[in-house]
Amino acid sequence: MKITPLDIKKQVFKKVLRGYDPIEVETFLEMVADEFEQLIRDKNTLSDDVLKLRTQLRDYQEVEKTFKESLMNAQQTMNQSRENSKREAALIIKEAEVKAEKIIETARKQLADMKNELMVIKAQKDSFAKRLRHLLESQIELLKVLEMDDVGFEKATAGGGQLDEKKKNNDDEEKSVEDLKISDQFIM
């Protein structure tokens, strides 16, 4: 059975002849009841405080749990982000390597095309030089034939003095043609 401060105040004792002083006992019981009442109030206050603290503790534990979950989620997100970044970086590198290979292949193809064009141009130049040389030689031969015709005509019409001058002119022309051939060889 629980004793309340009211129970203490209303407690009645039997009266005996040689018992305690009733006023003193009642005063003491009054003091005990007041003290007991104060203890109950303190206990109730402490119980309320304990309840508040437990509620706060539960709230803090929930906040801590939320923080831990948030931290774990942030770490997972960071790890996923890191992995995604690595994948993207690898993909970018791979694309750059493919582009570089295409550029190199294109440059090689252009170089091969340019070499082929250069060979064709050299062949055309050689062919042109040969044709030009042949044309010049045939023209020189034609000039020689024409000069021979002129020399024969002049011999028939004139005397020997003019023939020597024509021969000298022919020698000068042949020397010029030979000089032209030599310079043509240096050009080729």
- 182: Cβ contacts below 8 Å, ≥ 6 apart: none
Cα 183 from Cα 176, distance rounded (Å)? 10
Count how many residues are written for the chain: 188
CA-based nearest residue to 151, from 136, 131, 171, 176: 171
Give me the long-range contacts of 84-90 (CB less than 8 A, separation at least 24).
Answer: none
Cα 188 to Cα 174, 176, 180, 184, 185: the distances in Å are: 21, 18, 12, 6, 5
Angle subtended at Cα 11 by Cα 6 and Cα 16, rounded to the nearest 5 degrees: 165
- Please tell me the distance from the alpha carbon of residue 71 to that of residue 37, in angstroms, as a whole number: 50
Helices and strands in the chain, H and E counts: 3, 0
Question: pLDDT tens, position by position, for the chain (188 residues)?
Answer: 577 778 777 777 777 777 777 788 888 888 888 888 899 999 999 999 999 999 999 999 999 999 999 999 999 999 999 999 999 999 999 999 999 999 999 999 999 999 999 999 999 999 999 999 999 999 999 988 888 877 767 776 765 445 455 556 666 666 665 665 555 554 44
**Predicted local distance difference test score (pLDDT) of residue 9:** 79
Task: Give the total number of structural domains in the chain.
Answer: 1
pTM (predicted TM-score): 0.40
Domain encompassing residue 114: 5-187
Distance CA 116, CA 119 (A): 5
